[in-house]
Structure 1
Amino acid sequence: MDAHNTGGTEAERRERALAALAEKPDGIVESIAATAEVTPAEILEILPKGSAVIAPKESFLDIWNELATWGIVLFLVHTEDVVAEIDGSLPIGSESHGWFNIHGDSPIGGHIKKDNCASITFVDRAFHGRRSCSIWFMNQKGGAMFKIFVHRDEARELEADQLAKFEALRDRYAAL
């Protein structure tokens, strides 16, 4: 959902968001946002208490470097046209020429415009009936630049060690 296609007063936007979320509480956030004509960030803001914990953009490097120690994660980029899901470990990055560059022995690599990150949101909610835990790097337009999900095991359960790390990292920012 492009933030430029949204409209109405803050109260109207919130009402639309609440109605769309109530209709599909465990659905895809971007789809719920599109239905309500709001941004994904506005949907995350109205999730039940504790379901979305926001960290400041200044925490980008600290959070990234922590995530780089987690092993295999699911790196997801969701645009209007494609949802790209990549299993891999996050490489340690470096900054150069306005980009955060990630390269290493992983299928996850490329360049991130780190300065476009407005906040980082820890999301813990049901998704199609199952608990899902992810970290959303949000842009200034209210959309996710990319998301990093706690990996699932062969039984499709959240990996216990990563889940514990997710909860500890989230709780560190919830306490701020």
Structure 2
Amino acid sequence: MASVDDLIRQDLAARPDGILEAVAEERDVPMQAVLDCLGPESAQRVPGTRFEEIWQDLTGWGEITFVVHTRDGVFECRGCVPPGTLGRGYFNIHGDSPIGGHLRLDRCRFVYFIDRPFFGKRSCSVQFVNEDGGVMFKVFVGRNEDRSLKEDQLVRFEALRERHR
């Protein structure tokens, strides 16, 4: 009998550019289980203790797409990643951006650098995973008018991923 990981890998092979959350829901596993089944060319995991260093780098990328994907919807916001500070048990995000709020930094277990096709186009994101294996939010490399990845952000994504190998 195939293990859950084997079944997830079969799903990913059958739909290499599909929605990862659909695989997690179909297999009744947290997103981390799906991310961990992506090959090393597609996913790199680092400890959540690197959150602040990674967040700081993201503040210099310019306009990105910030995504929160739950079973109930996909929420997207375009804007610059604002700076944040620790206070009262939260990482407080503030600045002149539509992206803002308060994160329980202590719940960030891992950060994943994801580089894979999505509906036929290369997609690169930084995904923050909580201690339950769920994705807290994702920061995607932005796209140009022609839907190609913004080259300057792609260079920054690749450099940040390499620094955390």
Provide TM-score, normalisation by structure 1.
0.90
**What is the alpha-carbon root mean square deviation over aligned residues?**
1.3
Which position in structure 1 is the counterpart of 2:55? 64
- Aligned-pair distance for 1:143? 1.3
Which position in structure 2 is the counterpart of 1:26? 17
Which position in structure 2 is the counterpart of 1:104? 95
Q: Secondary structure at the match of 1:43?
A: helix
Runs (4 or more) in structure 1 with deviation over 4 Å come to none
Residue 43 of structure 2 aligns to which amino acid in structure 1? A
The one-character-per-residue Cα deviations of 1:54-106 (angstroms, maximum 9, x if unpaired) are 11111100000000011111100001111110000011101111111111110
Q: Secondary structure at the match of 1:171?
A: helix
Which position in structure 1 is the counterpart of 2:122? 131
| In 1, Cα distance between equivalents of 2:25 and 2:7 | 10
Which position in structure 1 is the counterpart of 2:45? 54
The count of residues paired between Structure 1 and Structure 2 equals: 165
Pick aligned residue for 2:163 from 151, 154, 172: 172
Structure 1 gaps, min length 5 = 1-8
Question: Are 1:73 and 2:64 counterparts?
Answer: yes
Q: Which has the higher strand share?
A: 2
- Aligned-pair distance for 1:154? 0.9
Provide TM-score, normalisation by structure 2.
0.95
Question: Are 1:117 and 2:108 counterparts?
Answer: yes
Q: Secondary structure at the match of 1:106?
A: coil
Q: What percentage of aligned pairs have identical amino acids?
A: 47
Which position in structure 2 is the counterpart of 1:5? none
